[in-house]
Structure 1
Amino acid sequence: MDNNLDQLERPAEIMRVLGHPVRLCIARGLIRENGCNVSFMQECLDIPQSTISQHIRSLKAAGIIEGERKGTEITYRVVSETAKDIIRILDLEEKK
């Protein structure tokens, strides 16, 4: 058994953040749509913008997503390959 727990810290943190259903749904949607803005997420999820913004902050803080500003709009994308792999393993990504 490999006892190097340090190398498991990052994947464990990503799984902890993705462990919330709304954050998992947001990450899955961002992968499917190849990025989108908060307004689009709000329409799809039918939850308040403030709630989505809180989840976005958690995903950004964990390094799972990044936002790109274009004018007044921010488009978010999943940048963590580990998060993408986890979602694929869970078979949550739309089949191509």
Structure 2
Amino acid sequence: MRKAKVNINNEKLQASSEVLRALSHPLRLQILEFIDQNDTINVNKIYNTLNLEQSITSQHLRILRLAGLVETERDGKFIHYRIDYDRIKNAVGAINRFLNKEEDEEEA
């Protein structure tokens, strides 16, 4: 039996891989959880509370920001971070659909 041709939108694939990459790191998940507990928070509070180096924290926040998982707002010299819950919801939904489809194929 011949398999169907697969069409993949490279832009969407790149964006999806950035989101999955961002979500795949335990420290980034810890940072997201901390932001979630505080609604919106500045970078100083993140690295001081989680006992991280400022540069490491900024690198991880950059990855989360580029993936669209967090949003920023400048208040003077401080940058405040908050979670983009719609983006997280979409990513988790896509992962769950993929895993459920994979389970269904294994059972067939």
TM over 0.5: yes
RMSD: 2.7
The counterpart of 1:66, out of the listed 48, 68, 71, is: 71
- 3-state DSSP of counterpart to 1:69: strand
CA drift of 1:15 comes to 2.6
Tell me if 1:22 matches 2:24. Answer: no
**Runs of 4+ in structure 1 over 6 Å off:** none
Structure 2 portions without partners, runs of 5+: 1-5, 93-108
User: What do the CA deviations read for 1:19-46 (whole angstroms, capped 9, x no partner)?
Assistant: 1111111111111110111111112210
C-alpha contact (below 8 Å) 2:68/2:87 kept by paired residues = no
Greater share of helix? 2
* Greater RCO, CA 8 A, separation 6+: 1
CA drift of 1:16 comes to 2.2
Distance 2:8 2:36 in 1: 29
Distance 1:80 1:11 in 2: 16
Q: Show the counterpart of 1:77.
A: 82
CA drift of 1:78 comes to 0.9
Larger Rg: 2
Structure 1 portions without partners, runs of 5+: 87-96
Distance 2:82 2:89 in 1: 11
10-19 vs 36-45, greater mean Cα deviation: 10-19
Tell me if 1:37 matches 2:34. Answer: no
Provide TM-score, normalisation by structure 1.
Answer: 0.72
C-alpha contact (below 8 Å) 1:64/1:80 kept by paired residues = yes
